[in-house]
């Protein structure tokens, strides 16, 4: 049977480990935190990030990156975007030349403005691996871990690699579609978190359902504009990793990014909100990278800029809303 390594034992990394074990594979789960490893090894529960879910005996927690990745056929990255480069720079020398790297990270790296697959390509330069694939779509860990139905897509420039990931991850409750538009899938997964913060701010301000629907719709439009500038396929943004993930993240109370936005809309500072969170809300960092990308490619992304102004420039949420509503009138 194939050996699969999952790097990152947060709620989503632990959930994907469970999905993979349900598909029949033994999984080595690398966890940075000792209490997480001990909890899984002794009680079969990740009490820190996924409490209440009993995990398969096929999941083995591991403290060492080399021990986790060495000999693995698939290596799944579920690390926050700001940590991918360091972890894979360490892991690279121990990765098999025919291994497939699967990125389940959603974000844009600050400074480099790279998506996770771009970070991986740089970190693994000169090291062995067969292909890089990305996994994205509307999928709250809490629901998938309880084996409720979900559908996502696996994208790679190699359709063979995408289909290999599709086969490895598919179960009777987790359906995977194959795709070759890597940048489109990654941008959808990253940018929807920024729009989700905007939707949360709107709800925190009690602006109503109309405002949230407008943010989702116009947010999708600016996601598509940046995607087109970077060579993504327009149809990707109408799919699972675009519209599907956007709607879920902007409307579901299980969304960390939406929840961050609600708190900010109610008057909390971003430092107060993130300081109280154990898990990462990727949209907070992504909005900076997305804003930089938009300026580099001369793409109009007013909602992203409004979120950036609230989180990093001290603009009040209501002033940002008024700025959006007062913009020059345009054709749709």
- In the chain, the number of structural domains is 2
The more confident residue out of 277 and 133 is: 133
Judgement on whether residues 166 and 202 belong to the same structural domain of the protein: no
Q: What is the tens place of the pLDDT at every residue in 89-147?
A: 999 999 999 999 999 999 999 899 999 999 999 999 988 899 999 999 999 999 999 99
Judgement on whether residues 143 and 232 belong to the same structural domain of the protein: no
For residue 166, is it within any domain?
Answer: yes
Where is the domain boundary, 180, 198, 221? 180
For residue 81, is it within any domain?
Answer: yes
pLDDT of residue 1: 58
For residue 263, is it within any domain?
Answer: yes
Q: What is the tens place of the pLDDT at every residue in 2-17?
A: 899 999 999 999 999 9
Judgement on whether residues 200 and 121 belong to the same structural domain of the protein: no
Give the residue-averaged pLDDT of 78-86: 94
3-state secondary structure of 248: helix
Judgement on whether residues 154 and 80 belong to the same structural domain of the protein: yes
Where is the domain boundary, 159, 180, 201? 180
Give the tokens for residue 304: 């992203």
Q: How are the residues of the chain apportioned to helix, strand and coil, as percentages rounded to the nearest 5?
A: 55, 10, 35
Q: Which residues pair with 75 in a beta bridge?
A: 5, 101
Residue 285 appears among annotated catalytic residues: no
Predicted confidence band of residue 218 (pLDDT cuts 50, 70, 90): very high
> With 0-12 CB in 10 A as exposed, 13-18 as middle and 19+ as buried, what is 267?
exposed
Full residue range of the structural domain in which residue 123 is found: 4-180
Give the tokens for residue 164: 């290999």
Return d(Cα 265, Cα 11) in angstroms, integer.
26
Least confident of 181-190, 210-219, 233-242, 246-255: 246-255
- Buried b / exposed e over 68-87, threshold 16 CB at 10 Å, is bbbebbbbbbbbbbbbbbeb
Q: What is the CATH number of the domain that holds 126?
A: 3.40.50.720
The 10 Å Cβ neighbour count of residue 225 is: 17
Give the residue-averaged pLDDT of 36-43: 97
**How are beta strands 150-156 and 174-179 bridged, if at all?**
parallel
Give the tokens for residue 61: 């927690």
Q: What is the DSSP string of 108-156?
A: --TTT---HHHHHHHHTTTS--SEEEEEESS--HHHHTTT--EEEEEEE
Catalytic residue among 192, 266, 319, 330: 192
**Matching residue, tokens 């179960």:** 171
Judgement on whether residues 124 and 245 belong to the same structural domain of the protein: no
Where is the domain boundary, 180, 215, 248? 180
pLDDT > 90 fraction of the chain, expressed in percent and rounded: 91
Q: Does position 332 have pLDDT exceeding 70, yes or no? A: yes
Return d(Cα 24, Cα 9) in angstroms, integer.
19
For residue 330, is it within any domain?
Answer: no
Question: CA-CA distances (angstroms) from residue 211 to 201, 214, 219, 278, 322?
Answer: 11, 5, 12, 30, 12
Give the tokens for residue 325: 């509503």
Judgement on whether residues 175 and 211 belong to the same structural domain of the protein: no
Which strand ranges, in their side-by-side order, compose the sheet holding 27-30?
59-62, 27-30, 4-7, 74-77, 100-103, 131-136, 150-156, 174-179
Q: What is the mean pLDDT of the chain?
A: 95
Predicted confidence band of residue 240 (pLDDT cuts 50, 70, 90): very high
């Amino acid at each position: 049977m194939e050996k699969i390594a999952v790097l990152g034992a947060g709620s989503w990394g632990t959930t994907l480990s469970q999905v993979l074990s349900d598909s029949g594979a033994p999984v080595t789960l690398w966890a940075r935190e000792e209490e997480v490893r001990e909890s899984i090894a002794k009680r079969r529960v990740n009490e820190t990030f996924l409490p209440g879910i009993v995990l398969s005996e096929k999941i083995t927690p591991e403290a060492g990156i080399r021990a986790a990745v060495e000999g693995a056929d698939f290596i799944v990255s579920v690390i926050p975007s700001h940590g991918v480069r360091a972890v894979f720079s360490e892991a690279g020398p121990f990765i098999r030349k025919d291994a497939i790297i699967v990125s389940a990270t959603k974000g844009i790296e600050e400074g480099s403005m790279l998506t996770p697959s771009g970070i991986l390509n740089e970190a693994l330069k000169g090291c062995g691996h067969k292909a890089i694939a990305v996994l994205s779509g509307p999928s709250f860990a809490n629901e998938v871990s309880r084996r409720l139905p979900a559908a996502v897509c696996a994208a790679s420039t190699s359709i063979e690699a995408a289909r290999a990931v599709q086969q490895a991850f598919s179960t009777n409750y987790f359906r995977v579609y194959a795709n070759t538009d890597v940048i489109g899938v990654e941008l959808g997964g990253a940018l929807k978190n920024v729009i989700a913060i905007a939707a949360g701010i709107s709800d925190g301000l009690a602006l109503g359902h109309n405002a949230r629907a407008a943010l989702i719709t116009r947010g999708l439009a600016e996601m598509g504009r940046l995607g087109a500038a970077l060579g993504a396929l327009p149809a990707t943004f109408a799919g699972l990793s675009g519209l599907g993930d956007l709607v879920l993240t902007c409307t579901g109370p299980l969304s960390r990014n939406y929840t961050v936005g609600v708190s900010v809309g109610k008057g909390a500072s971003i430092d107060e909100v993130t300081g109280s969170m154990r898990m990462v809300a990727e949209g907070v960092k992504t909005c900076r990278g997305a804003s930089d990308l938009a300026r580099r490619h001369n793409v109009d992304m007013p909602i992203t800029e409004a979120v950036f102004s609230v989180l990093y420039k001290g603009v009040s949420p209501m002033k940002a809303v008024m700025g959006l509503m007062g913009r020059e009138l345009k054709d749709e």
